[in-house]
């Protein structure tokens, strides 16, 4: 289902790229479920521990189902985001 990875404060989250937007899934496996296929649950307290900004957690809490964020592309964006840069960033001195 997911075809991208989005990095938020050095943590990686599965994402799905669609025309004009990116859907990010902030759910995690249920730590209390020891079955072979634990369900994905929205855990705002754990997201805060990981350093995810409160504004993103609050937005994900309001989604239906909880835990998803939809980011629209910026206007006049020439290339869609791919999750990770293909080339290292270099600093230039002025």
The string of pLDDT tens digits covering residues 36-68 is 999 999 999 999 999 999 999 999 999 998 999
Q: Which residues, other chains included, contact 9 with Cβ-Cβ below 8 Å and sequence gap of 6+?
A: 50, 51, 52, 53
- Considering only CA atoms, which of 47, 49, 6, 53 is closest in space to residue 27? 47
- What's the pLDDT score for residue 8? 83
Q: What are the extents of the domains in the chain?
A: 4-72
Residue pair 24/71 in contact by the 8 Å Cβ criterion: yes
Top-confidence range, 5-9, 21-25, 71-75: 21-25
- What's the pLDDT score for residue 1? 59
Q: Is the pTM of this model over 0.85?
A: no
Q: What is the DSSP string of 21-68?
A: EEEEE--EE-TT--SSSPPEE--HHHHHHTT--HHHHHHHHHSSSTTE
């Amino acid at each position: 289902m997911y075809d991208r990875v989005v990095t938020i404060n050095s943590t990686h989250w599965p994402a799905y790229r669609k025309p004009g937007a990116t859907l990010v899934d902030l759910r995690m496996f249920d730590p209390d479920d020891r079955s072979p296929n634990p369900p994905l649950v929205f855990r705002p307290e754990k997201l805060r521990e990981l350093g995810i900004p409160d504004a993103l957690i609050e937005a994900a809490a309001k989604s239906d189902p909880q835990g998803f964020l939809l980011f629209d592309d910026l206007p006049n964006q020439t290339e869609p985001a791919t999750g990770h840069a293909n080339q290292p960033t270099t600093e230039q001195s002025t």
